[in-house]
Amino acid sequence: MECGQLWERACSRRRCVSHRMHQLTHCFREQARSHIDRVPTGKYRAISQGKPMPQPFIFRTIDLDGQTIRTAVRPGKPHLTPLLIFNGIGANLELVFPFVQALDPDLEVIAFDVPGVGGSSTPSVPYRFPGLAKLTARMLDYLDYGQVNAVGVSWGGALAQQFAYDYPERCKKLILAATAAGAFMVPGKPKVLWLMASPRRYIQPSHVVRIAPMIYGGSFRRDSKLAAEHASKVRSAGKLGYYWQLFAGLGWTSIHWLHKIRQPTLVLAGDDDPLIPLINMRMLAWRIPNAQLHIIDD
């Protein structure tokens, strides 16, 4: 299951999940009205999207030694630990907006496009998860953040694990959603994995609408509008960035160091996920010492 889909499913079930999410990200709340964008002059301008947005988002594209990273920050109250979001494979930061809308408006939220996705530049050479975790820490330094709570879904869940392990002082709490321990995971259905190996669904919106019930399961089997809404938010950066993300996870696993993740961890799983079988989430909750598993009934 990809990030946009899980966010939308999580939002629709916020009453049953809100108590557990409160431990790590405070409670779900009502959405606000608009967002803003940073223009090159350094001033801000309002942007109308036709739909209500949370509170103002501040978009910035930063340069880290030649690698440009597009970021979005929804400002919040300083007494709450900011929430850092790690997106799924191929997913641009706009896809998490429905999830952010459901969060406490006082909570500061940080989202970004990994290299080769959305508005971030595509590197000429592939990367691995440890390098991405280091890049994330540098991004937080640039944006003047110290400690954060982290949430990662699917591919982004693997990166969140790496970040929490490599930078424990930067990650206070952890949420892992629809993800696994990498190479030692129990794989999904072969046909689903084959479809996921291609970036086509991020390039052709009609394709994701057609295959969404098969690869995402749950509500997407019953409501075709969910896939259409998801496709409308997609911003593709091309095929190469997607392949670099696939390479980042090739042979990677966290199974041998999960027991060293000491942060309080919430593990979220859907009971109808063709891509990430539930046993993988049970494995994470078993291996991480201070983890709690919550299964969303879909």
Is 154 known to be catalytic? Answer: yes
Give the C-alpha separation, 135 to 15, whole Å.
Answer: 35
Give the C-alpha separation, 234 to 121, whole Å.
Answer: 16
Length of the chain: 298
Do 271 and 1 meet the contact criterion of CB atoms below 8 Å apart?
A: no
Among residues 18, 23, 162, 24, the alpha carbon closest in space to that of 86 is found at: 162
Contacts of 15 (CB under 8 A, 6+ apart): none
Catalytic residue among 12, 120, 121, 154: 154
The catalytic residues are 154
